């Protein structure tokens, strides 16, 4: 059982700061996913935990012990790389045995551990092959096998599925989820920019942006209660619709009007001083629905329809080119391009953000 604690982790390259004091507690056996856009520092953070990057300041603790100066191989950590990083001149067996040979593990034990991992990952018949003779998915399994044989306390994955095609990505994602289930005591940290991977795999997600942690929480926490505008728009596909708005009435319930002028009453209290404050108004595409009556929030023309079969994404022009609204409707609802539609939402599904982008009201 291994706890991981990051205290004020900073990483700079010269004068460029990449990580700005990351604080994080990872509990033993957790599956943590670092997610964020390119350049947010998620891979740097992962490499710092691995020991492949020297942290500029702060403390990294594994089981309460500071490991800043402990070499990567002594941290009890194994890593699966984005490019697989298999040694091209070694067979699958040799790739998996390499670390143990360096650690001077006995031949019989190496053999037993490699064969056991190969069996779990269905690689037994490929043990004598070179990586170049294997498919992307098989190579990825070898990379995972190489990590498994080391019996790590912490498993690190650096965008392990990004080189696989769509179908294989789904299959490998499920394999990783099953692998985690079979290793309940092993802590896993997984880096991705794919929110589907993050949502489906994580016990908790850490959203990073520009070297800062934006929010930490369970996938549904982040989805239902995003802490700020960035998280609100980053988690969920298509992204949450954000519309500038103003608080018209503060009090036990809050009335908000958006740029189109229509008002909505949100069942949450706000202080009297909030009246007139500029806010942003967020609603997820699946929470918007077409209405025909006079009680509606937005009115606009259907600009484009993306039919995905089970659902369709309807892009509605509400008169602001910079604010196209997206709504996710069932695939069998007939929506014509150019038609005028009225959209409404349940007030409970609204997200309100203050002028700084922080979530102020969460029904």
Partner 1 sequence: MESGAVVRGAARPQRPRSLRARFGNLLSFRWAAIALILIGWFVYYPIVDNFIVSTTDQDIYTGEVTNVGLANYDRLLHDPIVLVALWNNCLYAIISVVFQVFGAFLLAAIIEDLRSERWRRLWRAIYFVPSAISITVTGLLFYFIYQPQIGLLDAALSRVGLSQLVMPWLGSEHTAIYAIIAMSQWQGFGYSTLLFAIAIQKIPRDLYDAATMDGAGSLRRLWSITFPLTREMTGLMIIVTIAGAFQVFNEVMVMTAGGPNNSSQVLGTWLYQKAFIEDNFGYGSAIAAVIFVLTMLTGAAQLWYTKRRRVQL
> Using CB under 8 A as the criterion, which residues of the chain lie in contact with partner 1 when the complex forms?
47, 50-52, 71-74, 77-79, 81-83, 85-89, 98-99, 102-103, 132, 146, 150
CB of 141 to partner 1, least distance (A): 15
Q: Note whether 328 and 286 are within 8 A (CB).
A: yes
From first CA to last CA, the distance across the chain in angstroms is 37
Which one, 71 or 338, has the nearer CB to partner 1? 71
CB of 14 to partner 1, least distance (A): 11
Our CB check for partner 1 shows the closer of 43 and 312 to be: 43
Answer yes or no: are the C-beta atoms of 147 and 79 closer than 8 Å: yes
Q: If we measure between CA atoms, which residue out of 318, 355, 354, 323 comes closest to residue 242?
A: 323
For CA atoms 79, 82, 87, 91, the dihedral sign is positive
Decide whether 138 or 241 has the Cβ nearer to partner 1. Answer: 138
Question: Is the CB of 99 or the CB of 357 nearer to partner 1?
Answer: 99
Q: Does residue 105 contact residue 125 with C-beta atoms inside 8 Å?
A: no
Pick between residue 88 and residue 330 the one whose CB is nearest to partner 1. Answer: 88
Kind and range of the H or E element at 182?
A: helix 166-182
CA-wise closest residue to 186 among 157, 155, 159: 155
Q: Which is nearer to partner 1, 12 or 218 (CB)?
A: 12
DSSP 273: G
Question: Distance from CA of residue 105 to its chain's centroid?
Answer: 37
Question: 349, 331 in Cβ contact below 8 A?
Answer: no
Least distance to partner 1, CB of residue 88, Å: 5
Cα–Cα nearest to 351, from 261, 236, 271 = 236
Q: Which is nearer to partner 1, 134 or 213 (CB)?
A: 134
Least CB distance to partner 1 at residue 93 (A): 14
Q: How far is the CB of 85 from partner 1 (least distance, A)?
A: 4
Q: Could you tell me the sign of the dihedral formed by the alpha carbons of 327, 331, 337, 339, in that order?
A: negative
Which residue has tokens 């319930």? 253
Distance in Å, CB of 81 to partner 1, minimum: 5
Least distance between partner 1 and beta carbon 155 (Å): 11
Tell me the closest approach of the beta carbon of residue 52 to partner 1, in angstroms. Answer: 5
The residue (of 133 and 174) whose beta carbon lies closer to partner 1 is 133
The whole-angstrom separation of Cα 40 and Cα 147 is: 26
Least spacing, CB of residue 181 vs partner 1, in Å:
24
| Dihedral over alpha carbons 200, 48, 92, 33 (to 10 degrees) | 0
Q: Which residue in 300, 322, 301, 304 sits closest to 314, CA to CA? A: 304
Nearer to partner 1, 42 or 284 (CB): 42
Our CA angle for 291, 295, 297, nearest 5°, is 80
User: Is residue 213 a contact partner of residue 22, using CB atoms and an 8 Å limit?
Assistant: yes
Question: Which one, 6 or 78, has the nearer CB to partner 1?
Answer: 78
Helix (H) / strand (E) element for 300: namely strand 298-307
Please, what is the minimum distance in Å from the beta carbon of residue 98 to partner 1? Answer: 5
Torsion angle of C-alpha atoms 332, 334, 338, 341, degrees rounded to 10: -100
């Amino acid at each position: 059982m291994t706890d991981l604690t990051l205290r004020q982790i900073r990483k700079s390259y010269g004068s460029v700061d990449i990580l700005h004091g990351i604080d994080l507690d990872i509990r033993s056996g957790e599956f943590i996913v670092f997610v964020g856009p390119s350049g947010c520092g998620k891979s740097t953070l992962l490499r710092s935990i691995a020991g492949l990057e020297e942290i500029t300041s702060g403390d990294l603790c594994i089981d309460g012990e500071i490991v800043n100066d402990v070499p990567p191989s002594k941290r009890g950590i194994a890593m699966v790389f984005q490019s697989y990083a298999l040694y091209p001149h070694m067979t699958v067996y040799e790739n998996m045995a390499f670390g143990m040979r360096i650690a001077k593990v006995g031949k019989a034990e190496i053999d037993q551990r490699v064969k056991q991992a190969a069996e779990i990952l269905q690689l037994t018949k490929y043990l004598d092959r070179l990586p170049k003779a294997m498919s992307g998915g098989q190579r990825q399994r070898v990379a995972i096998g190489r990590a498994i044989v080391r019996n790590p306390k912490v498993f690190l994955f650096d965008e392990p599925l990004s080189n696989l095609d769509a179908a294989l990505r789904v299959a490998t994602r499920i394999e990783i989820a099953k692998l985690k289930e079979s290793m309940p005591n092993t802590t896993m940290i997984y880096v991705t920019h794919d929110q589907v991977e993050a949502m489906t795999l994580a016990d908790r997600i850490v959203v990073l942006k520009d070297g800062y942690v934006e929010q930490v929480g369970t996938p549904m926490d982040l989805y239902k209660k995003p802490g700020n505008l960035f998280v609100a728009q980053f988690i969920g596909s298509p992204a949450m619709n954000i519309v500038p708005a103003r608080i018209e009435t503060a009090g036990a319930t809050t009335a908000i009007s958006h740029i189109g002028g229509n008002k909505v009453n949100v069942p949450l209290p706000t202080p009297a001083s909030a009246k007139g404050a500029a806010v942003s108004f967020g609603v997820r595409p699946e929470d918007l629905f077409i209405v025909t009556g006079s009680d509606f929030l937005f009115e606009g023309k259907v600009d484009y329809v993306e039919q995905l079969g089970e659902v369709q994404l309807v892009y509605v022009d509400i008169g602001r080119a910079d604010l196209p609204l997206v709504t996710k409707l069932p695939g069998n609802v007939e929506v014509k391009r150019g038609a005028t539609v009225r959209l409404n939402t349940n007030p409970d599904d609204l997200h309100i953000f203050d002028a700084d982008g922080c979530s102020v009201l969460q029904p």
